[in-house]
Amino acid sequence: MSRWVFEPGHTAAEFCVRHMMVTYVRGHFKDVHGTLEFDPEAPAVSGVEAVIDARGLWSGEPDRDTHLRGPDFLDVERFPEITFRGRQVRLAGANEAVVVGDLTLRGVTRSVDLHVRYLGQWQTPWWKDGVDTGPKTRAGFLATARINRHDFGVSWNSALDRGGVVVGDDVTVTIDAEAILQS
């Protein structure tokens, strides 16, 4: 089985949640690290471990970011990392699978289905100190999951007129991952 490492400069996670009953808010994490055991010829025996630095959350609005990092939401002072560990793989198509794993958020761990699409691999340059020391083999993946934030103790909300709420319950998570084959 080949071992891959996520390239943090080209790997990111995003969340999307309903806001004020009329639109969606997205937040981004760029500090994503992890490893992947993966062989495109035998994807059913794959495994993944990923760590997101929750302190790096960015939604484009500084006051909102402070609130999201605080105790009402991610509580990054107490829980600076979000982790996912998956070992159970169900193939769902030629380049698609569902990876069942443990998502830990705010110190709460729940089983989550991560829907993964393998985007392929390519030999690429590898620049170090201005010199191409490649080639390196890179592979791309797009993964999504839907979680209920209350399952992880993220339950802050505020009521709106006519029965609405500020924050929706369902959160869509999207991960764009670029992995480098380790030699």
**For position 93, what pLDDT does the model report?**
92
> Which numeric CATH code is attached to 3-181?
2.40.128.110
Q: Where are the domains of the chain?
A: 3-181
Average pLDDT for runs of 10 along the chain of length 183: 93 96 95 94 93 97 97 97 96 95 98 97 91 92 97 92 89 97 86
**For position 134, what pLDDT does the model report?**
83
* 64 touches 28 (CB < 8 A): no
**For position 10, what pLDDT does the model report?**
94
* 144 touches 117 (CB < 8 A): no
C-alpha distance across the termini of the chain, in Å? 12
